[in-house]
Each structure stands twice: as structure tokens, then as C-alpha cells.
Structure 1
Amino acid sequence: MANYTASDIKALRERTGAGMLDVKRALDEADGDAEKALELIRVKGLKGVSKREGRSASDGLVAANVSATPDGEGEVGVLVEVNSETDFVAKNVTFIGLAEKVLAAAVSSGARDADALLAAEIDGAPLQSAVDNTAATLGEKIVVRRVARVAGEKVAVYLHKVNKDLPPQVGVLVATDAAGASVAKDIAMHIAAYSPTFLSRDDVPAETVESERRIAEETSRNEGKPEAALARIVEGRLNGFFKEAVLLEQAFAKDQKKTVAQVLAESGGSVTGFVRYRVGA
């Protein structure tokens, strides 16, 4: 019988995220040698990579970094989302270590989409290789889903845990001018909670506005609203859409009597850009 203990099983499970039976089989085959068992688990996992392609990876984490721009006159924030199949793997140290590599590659490469990021070199090989190797070790499909970059005079970051036992699953970057930095963190927290789609009305595509106007008009007619009041009702409903979707027009999370625009005006600053990710959304 192979010479290993329950503590050895626990340690290897924590390193790999593999199931207990898989770990025990690997330790049996490796005569209790943890490193050899780890290699066996990885080899088995690599063989199963193609089988996992069709599986869903909707758990995981977000990670972010903020650093000075090359000219030193501003800051740039980078936000990445890395997905796993289960929350068990999402909190695994090996998976978290991979996410740190993904973020480092995003920062150093300047990649602006997932494909470019996966092609970026880290530790002398494409990031995709590290993803495949980690997927093999953990026995789950792993996806580098997306990456975003936000630059400005100042960039604030907010990462939110929806479960205290898991890594952050909501991430926000907010770029402001220097004056806006004093309220940037509060606004980042607001964005995490209220998930605006656009910064200002000017950022809403014309076709989106027309679609919302058409829906508002059709809804009002179906409700039997009087024709004479139709235009006013439609505009009111359109304004309601803006108040829900546009950051500057949303009621501020920490003071519902003010809009985000009013909070910024009081600080003398402005928001120049933002991005929000929620894992799996």
C-alpha cells in the first residue's frame, strides 16, 4: 500500500483542485510521491482538455492593476476576468496564481482583447500555455474571458466580493481628472452596485435611443394613454431609461437625493471613463 496520509491528500487537493478519488488514485500510482502524483494529475488533465471545450465556465474572478502611464502624466487601469467552471476552483491557490499571471501579462503586453492577451508571452511561453497547463492540473475548463484598459489623470479601482469566501467577482475601474479623484472610489462602488451602461447621454447610440423611444410609444399606446399627452409621456419614459442606464444621471448610491453628476460637480471634478465587469455576466 502506498505510503501517504490524509494530510497528503488534503495538500494535493488544495494544490490541484482535483477530486478526492482522483488524488488518491494518483498517490497510489505514484507510491505516495506527491510531486509524481501532481504530474500524473496534470497529464490526465491535459488529455481531457478537448473534452472540456463544450463545458460552461461561468464562475471565476476579476483582478485589476493601476499604474502610472509611461509619460508619468496619468494612470492606466487594467481589469481582467478569468473564468472557471466552479467556485471551488475559483478560490484555489493555483487558479488565483494563474489569474495573477493573466493580469501581469495584460499589464505588460498592452493587450486590449482576450485573443491578444492569450498570445502574449509570459515565462517564455504564450499565456495560452499557462492556461492549458493550469486547466490540466485543476481538471476544469478555464477561460480568459476579457480584458479592459482605462486611462486618465487618475484611475480608481474597486473589487467586490459577492461571497466572503471567494475572490472578487465584481470589478470596476473609474478614470477621473485630478479633482474628481476625491470621489472616484465612492463612484466606483456606486458603479459596482448600480451597473450603468453609459457615462453620459452623449454616449448612448442613436439607434438605442430610437429603440427605447419606440418601445415607450408602443407601450403608452397599448396602455390607452391620450394622444395629446403621448409625446410628454414618451419623453418621460425615455428620461427614465437615461436615469437607469447613464452613470451621470443615476441617483448616487450614498445619497439618493443627488445624482452622480451633482456629486462630481460638488467635487469640481469629472469622470472621463469607466468599465465594470461581473463574473459570468
Structure 2
Amino acid sequence: MKITASQVNALRQKTGAGMMDCKKALVEANGDEQAAIDILRKKGQKVAAKRGENETKEGLVIAKVTNGEGVILSLSCETDFVAKNEDFYALVDSLVNCAANSSAQTADDLLNEKFDDKLTVGEKITEQIGVIGEKLEISNFDRVKAEAVVAYNHPGNQIASIVGLNKAGDVAEDAGRQVAMQVAAMAPLALNKDGIDQETIDREIEVGKELAIQEGKPAEMAEKIAMGRLNKFFKENTLLSQDFIKDNKMSVEQFLNQSENGLTVTEFKRVALK
């Protein structure tokens, strides 16, 4: 049957596939749009299998707050060319919106959520693999719920963060924005020293002892020196103890308390693609 330009354009608008791909799919489907969409999806599945071993080192990360809850999601692709495309940004943004309006707690959960009336998130990604011709995958997904949540997206969308606070209000949220920028810039490992796992602590102590001995310090002093270095490690790598980047005369904990008495961070997430 004859396929009209309007049919091709309508399918292209719905799927984002190229004009020739849309026309071929409609011809194969005898003009049935839904069947043509399924054909394009199957093409995507074939591409996904073919490119399954390819590395996805590029991509975008977006953090967003909706209805008092923050989500952070990164979609990885193979090339910088794709990552910088406006359509790719729109795809990642739509996935973030879908995540924000779902109850998904993990990336696997999210893949099974509805993207629209016809596709799940996983099926949408598979469809777009066929459209783009690169492997795509959700490389990070997390969410934060608190009295107030603030999101920060660093220009270029290669780094993003979300911060949960124990108090709401304009003052708390303004302070939270500054702390979210701190998280993005300083990459803390945990909220405080209680969040550092014992394996990391043991390793830092062992390294500290070895360095002290190499510096010629007596073996009996090595442990004490190592503990001092451990405390420095906690200060540099836990968010509340870090020097506040806008005023290094105070810690992040002190900055928050100065902004509003008793204000603190309850949880944070950070994703950096590079």
C-alpha cells in the first residue's frame, strides 16, 4: 500500500526514528502505525544485542525535586556526539520525570515502570537504542526523601547532587543549595564518620602506620600518628566535617547551624560521569 508523508512524519514524531526507518517500518506493517512502532522496537532490540559489549563512557546526569522528593538519574551512551544532542537531553529529562512520578527505588524497578501508555521505561530505552544506534543504559538511579530536598545540576550535566535536610523553609533550602554545590564539588564519601565502612577505616590506619614508619617515626608512635591521619581523612571526606567551600573558617555542619539553628543534612547523593 502507499505510505503518505504525513504517516511517516507522525511515526517519526512518536518514535524519534529517522524518516527512512519510519517509512520502511510502515511499508512492512502495511501502514499499521502500532505494528510499525513494534517493528522499530524490534530493530532496537537487535541493536541492543549487537552492541551489548560496547562501553558506555559518555552520557548525562540530571537531578530533580518533585513533590518534596529528589531523584537523580544518569543515562549512559557510547559517544560524546550523542550525549550533547538536544534529543538525548530530552530523553534523559523524560526518564527523570518518569522516575520522579514512580515508586521505583532501583534502576531495575524503574525499567519496569510505565513510560507512557504503550511502553515501559526499559522498552523506551530499547526503542531509542534502535533510533540512536548506540548502547544506552541507566548507569545510576537514586532518590532522597526528607523534610526538604534540594537538587543541583552542574553545567554540562556531567555532575549532579541531591541533598535532604531535616527542616523545610526558604532559609533551609537556600543553605541546602549551597551544600548541594559542595557535594558536587568536593565528592564526600559519607555524611559523617559513622558512614565510613570499617574496611576503609582499617585501610587508612594501615597506610598511616606504614607512612609513619617510612618517615622514620618510632614503631610505638606509628599507631598514634595513623589515628591522627585518620581524623584528617574523616575531616576531608565526610560532608558535615568538610571545610565549607565558601568560607573555610567553618565546617559544613557549622554553616548549616549558623544558617538555622539545628539545621543539618540527613542524606545526600552524588553522581559524576567523569
TM-score range, shorter chain: 0.7 to 0.9
How far apart are the structure 1 equivalents of 2:234 and 2:265? 17
How far apart are the structure 1 equivalents of 2:248 and 2:189? 19
**Following TM superposition, where does structure 1 have runs of at least 4 consecutive aligned residues deviating by more than 4 angstroms?**
37-46
RMSD: 2.6
Q: Secondary structure at the match of 1:184?
A: helix
Conservation of the 8 A alpha-carbon contact between 1:150 and 1:175: yes
Q: Which residue of the partner structure matches residue 223 of structure 1?
A: 215
Taking structure 1 as reference, are residues 37 and 158 closer, same or farther at Cα in structure 2, changes over 3 Å only? farther
Q: How far apart are 1:233 and its partner, in Å?
A: 1.3
Q: Which residue of the partner structure matches residue 66 of structure 1?
A: 65
Taking structure 1 as reference, are residues 47 and 110 closer, same or farther at Cα in structure 2, changes over 3 Å only? same
Amino acid at match of 2:165: T
Q: Which residue of the partner structure matches residue 173 of structure 1?
A: 162
Q: Which residue of the partner structure matches residue 48 of structure 2?
A: 49
Please list every run of 5 or more consecutive structure 1 residues that lacks an aligned counterpart in the other structure: 1-14, 17-22, 69-74, 162-166
Q: How far apart are 1:196 and its partner, in Å?
A: 0.3
How far apart are the structure 2 equivalents of 1:148 and 1:175? 13
Match of 2:152 among 143, 150, 158: 158
Match of 2:75 among 65, 70, 82: 82
Q: Which residue of the partner structure matches residue 71 of structure 1?
A: none
Amino acid at match of 2:164: A
Q: Which residue of the partner structure matches residue 187 of structure 1?
A: 179
Conservation of the 8 A alpha-carbon contact between 2:47 and 2:129: no
Q: How far apart are 1:236 and its partner, in Å?
A: 1.6
How far apart are the structure 2 equivalents of 1:253 and 1:37? 56
Task: Count residues in correspondence.
Answer: 243
How far apart are the structure 2 equivalents of 1:270 and 1:245? 17
- Within a 5 Å distance, the mapping from 1:98-247 to structure 2 comes to 98-124=91-117, 125-161=119-155, 167-178=156-167, 180-247=172-239
Amino acid at match of 1:169: Q
Q: How far apart are 1:175 and its partner, in Å?
A: 0.9
Amino acid at match of 2:211: T
Q: How far apart are 1:208 and its partner, in Å?
A: 2.3
Q: What percent of counterpart residues are identical? A: 34
Q: How far apart are 1:123 and its partner, in Å?
A: 1.2
Conservation of the 8 A alpha-carbon contact between 1:94 and 1:134: no
Q: Secondary structure at the match of 1:240?
A: helix
Amino acid at match of 1:177: N
Q: Which residue of the partner structure matches residue 36 of structure 1?
A: 23
> Once structures 1 and 2 are overlaid, which stretch shifts more, 110-119 or 212-221?
212-221
Conservation of the 8 A alpha-carbon contact between 1:66 and 1:76: yes
Amino acid at match of 1:157: A
Q: How far apart are 1:49 and its partner, in Å?
A: 2.2
Q: Secondary structure at the match of 2:149?
A: strand
How far apart are the structure 1 equivalents of 2:206 and 2:159? 33
Q: Secondary structure at the match of 1:174?
A: strand
Please list every run of 5 or more consecutive structure 2 residues that lacks an aligned counterpart in the other structure: 1-15, 28-38
Q: TM-score scaled to structure 1, two decimals?
A: 0.78
Q: TM-score scaled to structure 2, two decimals?
A: 0.80
Q: How far apart are 1:259 and its partner, in Å?
A: 1.4
Q: How far apart are 1:108 and its partner, in Å?
A: 2.1
Conservation of the 8 A alpha-carbon contact between 1:85 and 1:140: yes
Taking structure 1 as reference, are residues 100 and 90 closer, same or farther at Cα in structure 2, changes over 3 Å only? same
Q: Secondary structure at the match of 2:101?
A: helix
Q: How far apart are 1:228 and its partner, in Å?
A: 4.5
Conservation of the 8 A alpha-carbon contact between 2:242 and 2:251: yes
